[in-house]
Structure 1
Amino acid sequence: MLGILLVASSLLFLASLSASPPVDLRINLIHIDSRSNFSTSELFHRASQRTRYRTKTRELKLTNSSPNFRSSLHSMDGEYLLELAIGTPSIPFMAIVDTGSDLIWTQCEPCISCFAQPTPVYDPSRSSTFSPLPCSSPQCESLAYYNCTPECRYYYNYSDSASTQGVLATETLIFGAHSVRDVAFGCGHANLGASFNSTGTVGLGRGHGSLVSQLGIEKFSYCLTSFLESNITSPLLFGSMADLNTSSGATQSTLLTQNPFDPSFYYLDLKGISIGETLLPIRAETFELKKDGSGGVIIDTGTALTRLEQAGYDIVAREIKSIVNLPLVNSSELCFTLSSRLVPNMPDMILHFEGANMTLPMDNYMIVDSNKGLFCLAMIGVSGGSILGNYQQKNIHILYNLAGGMLSFVPAKCSEI
């Protein structure tokens, strides 16, 4: 979840998955809208709203100079959920999974103020493996703001009046048949806001507090099915299970870069964009990461539709308008009217990263709503930085090699992995 940084770094790496690290692990992800009966238009509108909201909160984070600023926990943050369990005895824990943050946290009893959730609220007093972290712990001392009584207590305000307050502790997490001891997490007793069907978040970012860092995992991958195929799960793979199957195409690899102002995020070096055989005349600096931490391109599971720096988006939109000979709909998105219900034949879009080309077929950058007769670009224009969203990542198996600092990808049928 971009910008939701509730704890700082220096959380302990785990040394065990029931005594040894879970080097091989598969978890099935569920899209947040999978249990709702939304139409294609509604799904597109909801995805666009979530993307625009995340854009707003990231821009606030980059421009707000107050040290007390924290980005918002909001009902539209997050895209994919994973099912796990927490505590001994365990209870279900439905979490937003997010490559753009580090924190693992859940709502806790006594629940002074909490948002509605579909499963029982975790009660630390009923778990034999719950252990509050003391004020002297490195994890507590690494927090920007905390209160000790003598447990390490945290309190954060959010830009949209949402907030979370609780205790930093360790606990056992269960992924299917695998249990992981002593995971550092936030136990929130007062949480204002809403978060779809989740009870918290599991961060997969680059900071030490994320799940992959705490487990000491050197690589993970995922393959996302489209949110328009809401009943199909998407695999999240750790360890050797994360490896790509090269039989479906040539593997492409590019360096993961890092922004010192946003160290949790996975940045990519985007050089340009082609549509079909046409290399678009986008200036080289359009997608560059600036010295002040603005700009750049992040790959994120928690953003639905790709957001492109406005100067680049305008050129992409102009090229698409020249290809699609259909009337435009008066809306905030680039949508055309399919008067004859016939979908135009669109060339592939190619994202040119440093050393790698990501080919997006039409289904990965355009949305077809046959019922309403709409044909829309699944991207939005923004200022301050670009994000490769999960709609563009669908049916591409994406591997994060943390040890080597590389991102690799290959076309795949995600429902068959």
Structure 2
Amino acid sequence: MRIEVTHVNSDGNYTMAELIRRAAARDTVRLAGARANVTTPLHYSTAGGYLMELAVGTPPVPYLGLADTGSTLVWIECLPCKNCTDLVVPKYDPHKSPTFSSLPCNSSLCEALDFRGSCLKGSCTYNIVYGSGATVGVLGSEIFTFGSSEPVSVPDIGFGCSTDSLGDYGNSSGIVGLGKSSLSLVSQLGVGKFSYCLTSYYDIRSTSSLFFGSSASLSGTAVKSTAFVRNPNSTFASFYYLPLKGISLGATLLPVPSTAFAIRTDGSGGLIIDSGTTFTYLGDVAYQLVKQAIQSLVNRPPADGLKLELDLCYSLRPPPPQMPNMTFHFDGADMNLPVDNYMISDSETGLWCLAMLNSTDNSSILGNFQQQNMHILYDLDNDVLSFVPAQCSKL
């Protein structure tokens, strides 16, 4: 199954500077706190993520949801809504769909909510706090339809019907959780793998693609693979951790300690790959070494990046120097990032900035800016992540 995914800003209402600021601000807050074969388009979000097309209910009503490998619950805003965005219309009305039903408190999906779920008059309710917001509602079951040219309808998808939400979700109706949990869309579709290919950050018109099931596949000698790492703390079990061993800039291997990306016994630390976070965050030790390496190559005074809420910036005048690839060395696989995947330009402010930030703690996140123009496959059956460079707009 293939679904198109687009930039949240595909409507063109934001300048590049506004996009960068929104993404950086949202990321900072976020950091603090075989039933079907489906292919779906993805659209880029003003919140810095990518929006997935889906339709909910009978008759199917189209919505856009933020595709997020860093969360688990699938939810959309529902009527009556107390605190919801005014940008998204129409909103889903469960009373107008004969295929909607609320899930009881003893359902397996309600139990999967763990401490975030509760019971109200026999129905399962939830209160989920994200790093960048929160959502409250009732857990229900409904028919979800994916794709437009050859739609695929899947019954009995458990989802959150949110009547109160707080946060910046761009122009989406909610979140499509793709994390490791029985609540996520991946688990409920019953597929063992999914993949996506994200178009360039600057290309807000082209659509990216999200693949589920047998349509999610990579081939060729350029494909690299690395095994997911398990976190010993069950609180973080839904995240996709990767075994990052080091970072190079050009031919220079940075002196990052081998422990910089290790998961600690309490579950802290490590690096996760996340489609819902825009810029990559590195722990302080690794970030400072990357920053110093960039500074030594650029060899000019930095500019104030406050306008973009980024840390290391330079003026676009004179033009920046040619920069080498940056390489993330995973266990058994090197991910090569061209300069456009780690430096970001904005003509409005005249700035050229490092598209990475300091997490200020031991945790690290591989954001979607670094994943652009790369086809990335999550093989859940074998606990392996594979990736290969690709022209995602032509996939």
In the alignment, the residues of structure 2 paired with residue 205 and residue 78 of structure 1 have an alpha-carbon distance, to the nearest angstrom, of 18
The aligned residue for residue 374 of structure 1 is: 351
CA distance in 2, matches of 1:128, 1:33: 33
* Residue from 110, 115, 132 that aligns with 1:140: 110
Q: Out of 23, 36, 53, which is 2:12 matched to?
A: 36
Q: Which amino acid aligns with 2:357?
A: I
For 1:253-332, list aligned pairs within 5 A: 253-259=225-231, 260-331=234-305, 332=310
CA distance in 2, matches of 1:157, 1:267: 21
1:101 deviates by 0.9
What's 1:339 paired with? Answer: 317
The answer on whether the counterparts of 2:47 and 2:168 sit within 8 Å (CA) in structure 1 is no
8 Å CA contact 1:326, 1:338 repeated in 2? no
Correspondent of 2:139 among 163, 168, 184: 168
More deviation in 265-274 or 127-136?
127-136
1:14 aligned partner: none
Alignment of 1:380-399 (within 5 A): 380-382=357-359, 383-399=361-377
Stretches of structure 2 lacking an aligned partner (at least 5 in a row)? 34-44
Deviation of residue 193 (structure 1)?
4.3
TM-superposed CA distance for 1:90, in Å, is 1.6
What is the distance in 2 between the residues matched to 1:37 and 1:166? 30
Question: What TM-score, normalized by structure 2, do the two folds share?
Answer: 0.89
The corresponding residue for 1:153 is 125
- SS for the counterpart of 1:415 is helix
Deviation at 1:142, TM superposition (A): 4.2
Alpha carbons 2:8, 2:46 under 8 Å: kept? no
Partner residue of 1:356 out of 329, 333, 347: 333
Further displaced range: 322-331 or 297-306 = 322-331
The residue aligned with 1:66 is none
Equivalent residue runs for 1:128-277 within 5 Å = 128-143=98-113, 144=115, 145-155=117-127, 163-176=134-147, 177-246=151-220, 250-259=222-231, 260-277=234-251
* d(CA) in 2 for partners of 1:157, 1:256: 25
Q: What residue ranges of structure 1 are gaps of 5+ in the alignment?
A: 1-24, 58-74
> Match of 1:92, as an amino acid?
P
- For residues 339 and 205 of structure 1, do their structure 2 counterparts lie closer, same or farther at Cα, with a shift above 3 Å needed? same
Residue in 1 aligned with 2:26? 50
Q: Is the 8 A contact 1:92 1:119 kept in 2?
A: no
Cross-structure match for 1:13: none
Secondary structure of the residue that 1:84 maps to in structure 2? strand
Task: Show CA shifts across 1:36-59 (max 9, x none).
Answer: 3433333322222222121222xx
One-letter amino acid of the structure 2 residue matched with residue 211 of structure 1: L
Q: CA deviation at 1:138?
A: 2.8
Distance 2:300 2:131 in 1: 41
Cα RMSD after superposing both structures: 2.0
Question: How many Å separate the matches in 2 of 1:354 and 1:194?
Answer: 35
What is the identity percentage for the equivalent residue pairs of Structure 1 and Structure 2? 49
Q: For residues 393 and 131 of structure 2, what CA distance do their matches in structure 1 show? A: 38
Answering whether residue 56 of structure 2 is matched by residue 80 of structure 1, we say no
Structure 2 Cα separation of the partners of residues 398 and 193 of structure 1:
28
> What is the identity, as a one-letter code, of the residue corresponding to 2:136?
Q
User: Which region of structure 1 is more displaced relative to structure 2, 297-306 or 148-157?
Assistant: 148-157
Give the match for residue 37 of structure 2. Answer: none
Q: Which deviates more from structure 2 when the two are superposed, residues 140-149 or residues 345-354?
A: 140-149
